[in-house]
Amino acid sequence: MSENVELVNKAFRVILLAIDDVVGPHGTAAILRQAGLAQYIDHYPPSDSAYGGHQLRYMSQINRALFDIYGRRGARAILQREGRGRARNGIEENGRVASATKLAAKLLPRRTKVKLTLDTAAREYSEQLGTHVSIAEEGDVFFWQDPQCGNCIDWQSEQPVCFTTVGFIHGLVAWILEDEDFKVEEVACRAAGAAVCRYRVVLG
């Protein structure tokens, strides 16, 4: 079951640091208390690939805490910013892979750059978060698909709720393209009854 999957230390560290970047340490502490994860206040995981007992479902607990505290609109803005921060912090935490990807993409066409980046990120994301992300293509559109999305475990909603991943994908694509002439949206969500959480990337 996806809720019993563990994240590696640096993956959960990236999540907590990204929240810090948006709401500050005191705000993060309030969110962690609301999420039932007070043990992480001032005790973030180290930056390594070991497993420290950080459950994938903790991501959902944090997201729901944000909805409880800020409401849907406020949580959406914070989570999308957090997701972009996760992309930035994730690139820093995985510097060797990021540098190799950037170098390999340097002379590639725009579309191929995005494909290479999404494929690489999906592989690293899956390994570090215990999921099975895949990248699909339909014409000029890419889809990031996660059948074990940690953002919405044990959550039911009429609308998509995984705004963190929207921001994360946006941050990755903006990083490789060095512009923001594209769109990212969640078009299917497990919280709303879909089999997978599915995100559409449309290049400008």
Domain boundaries, the chain: 2-203
Cα→Cα distances 154→70, 148, 169, Å? 20, 11, 23
Which residue stretches of the chain have pLDDT < 70? 1-3
Q: What is the pLDDT of residue 140?
A: 80
Q: What is the pLDDT of residue 2?
A: 52
Give the tokens for residue 87: 């992309």
Rg (CA), the chain: 16
Q: What is the pLDDT of residue 90?
A: 80
Q: What is the pLDDT of residue 1?
A: 45
CATH 3.40.50.300 fits 2-203, yes or no: no
Q: What is the pLDDT of residue 3?
A: 52
- How confident is the model over 28-75, as pLDDT tens digits? 999 999 999 999 999 999 999 899 999 999 999 999 999 999 999 999
Cα→Cα distances 146→1, 17, 121, 173, Å? 14, 23, 12, 17
Q: Whole-angstrom Cα distance, residue 153 to residue 172?
A: 24
Residue with tokens 């990236």: 14
